[in-house]
Amino acid sequence: MGVLITMLMAIQILSALVLIALVMSQTTKSEGLTGTIGGKMSSTFRGKPGMDEKLANLTKWSATAFIVTSLLVYFVRSKAGA
């Protein structure tokens, strides 16, 4: 059980570092109220997604991986201690 916990924690730390790097590499959305009302109108008319959309998608999946591994670490550690 110890090897499983160690592997899950290593994956969790790796996904946390990737998530931090992805969030820091994104550009700020300083559009104010016009960005809230207009949304992503300018990006919907382009054919291929740009770098910002790709980074946002990678950030979403990295955050999902971090949350899932955090939950797995919690459940495995709680079962191991019981």
The number of folded domains in the chain is 1
pLDDT at site 2: 86
Which pLDDT belongs to residue 17?
96
* Per-residue model confidence as pLDDT tens for the chain (82 residues): 789 999 999 999 999 999 999 999 887 766 555 555 655 555 555 555 688 889 989 999 999 999 999 999 999 999 887 5
Long-range contacts (CB closer than 8 Å, 24 or more residues apart) made by 67-74 = 69/8, 69/11, 69/12, 69/15, 70/12, 72/8, 73/5, 73/8, 73/9, 73/12
Q: What is the pLDDT of residues 60-77, one digit of tens each?
A: 999 999 999 999 999 999
Write out the residue range of the structural domain in which residue 8 sits: 2-81
Mean pLDDT for all residues in the chain: 82
